Amino acid sequence: MQERIQEILNEAKEKIAQAATPEDVEQLRVGFLGKKGKITDIFKMMGKLDKEEKKTIGPAANKVKNEVDALINEKMAELKEKAKQARFKMESIDVTEPGKGYKVGVKHPLTITMEEVSRIFMSMGYSIAEGPQVETVFNVFDGLNSPPNHPSRDLTDTFYITEDTVLRPHTSSVQVRTLKTKKPPIKVISPGRCFRCDTPDATHSPMFHQIEGLVVDEGITMADLKGTLDSMAKQLFGSNTRTKFRPHHFPFTEPSAEMDVSCFVCGGKGCRVCGGNGWIEILGCGMVHPNVLEVGDIDTEKYTGFAFGMGVERIAMLKYGVSDIRLFYENDKRFIEQFK
Ligand code: PHE
């Protein structure tokens, strides 16, 4: 019996030493000290022993029981502490570690261009007007004095959503909206997105941007138009820039013109950017047609106005030397990040 007790003690010591988790230790506690545990069994057998044996086995069994109990408690505490330390280590935050870097985006070159042009006009007292990209046929054509047979009304030129709703082919629709809601003096620009049924190539895109301008007041003349746009061109392309107005036709302006700027690359001598003739066309403009003013019930005897519309992509391509309009829409970060 004495030997058996010693054996149990040795076995317990060995197994407790090997236990790797609190669960292992708990199992050992059950196996040695539980109801059917090996040490408990010794106590159960005591009844069958004679008096003399009881005297020696009793204390010996008790001693082993206490020893195993102590070993188990000690091991349990040790493993729990270990687990706690491991968790602390895992959950701890090193506040001295450098933070995760994050990338700041850049403005799109078209946004930069629109903001630059907007800033120039805002410094001249213009405010910004906005209009929707989905427009009525009235606001893009009829209200702008376009005859019923005008070619840009064709389904092949303009995207129709219904018979009288389109994706606006120009920002001039904002002229009509402004005239219907505001009284002179009017001085607005309107940057925005436009759509035309064009097959994409290096200079065409079915989606593009324009900046519209509209001024209506007493005594506005062609001189105001020329002075304003000349000043804008000098601020945008450099103070040596010259401007030239060529007669043109738009249904909503009379007279109408296209404005060219002297090439800011060669200064007018002729180069690859200006196609050799020293001038670059950048916008359409003219004096607002009285029929358009009448849409806003404006007294055409008292008020006159001018309007203009320029292509944002074209200006950005010229300014930044971009050779293909499609680069603006590919969202290739390597392209876009060059303009920050
Ligand atoms: N809407 C014209 C275009 O898209 C530009 C323009 C605007 C011309 C205003 C005259 C006045 O080509």
Instruction: Evaluate: CB of 175 within 6 angstroms of ligand 1.
Output: no
* Predicted confidence (pLDDT) per residue in 110-139, tens digit: 999 999 999 999 999 999 999 999 999 999
CA 123 to each of CA 111, 128, 224, 232, 268: distance values in angstroms, whole numbers, following the listed order: 18, 12, 16, 10, 28
pTM for the predicted model, two decimal places: 0.72
Half-sphere exposure of 120 (CA within 13 A, CB side): 19
Tell me which residue of 191, 196, 150, 144 sits closest to 169, measured CA to CA: 196
Instruction: Evaluate: CB of 308 within 6 angstroms of ligand 1.
Output: yes
Cis ω before 255 (30° cut-off from 0):
yes
Tell me which residue of 166, 139, 143 sits closest to 155, measured CA to CA: 166
Q: Which of 158, 252, 259, 283 to mutate to test the pocket of ligand 1 (most atoms within 8 A of CB)?
A: 252
CA 288 to each of CA 48, 77, 254: distance values in angstroms, whole numbers, following the listed order: 122, 91, 6
| Position in ligand 1 atom list of the atom nearest CA 170 | 4
Instruction: Evaluate: CB of 25 within 6 angstroms of ligand 1.
Output: no
Instruction: Evaluate: CB of 146 within 6 angstroms of ligand 1.
Output: no
Contact at 8 Å (CB) between 179 and 298? yes
Confidence (pLDDT) at 195: 98
Confidence (pLDDT) at 159: 97
Ranges of residues in the chain whose predicted pLDDT is under 70 = none
Contact at 8 Å (CB) between 328 and 110? yes
Q: Which helix (H) or strand (E) holds 71?
A: helix 51-91
Contact at 8 Å (CB) between 212 and 332? no
Instruction: Evaluate: CB of 205 within 6 angstroms of ligand 1.
Output: no
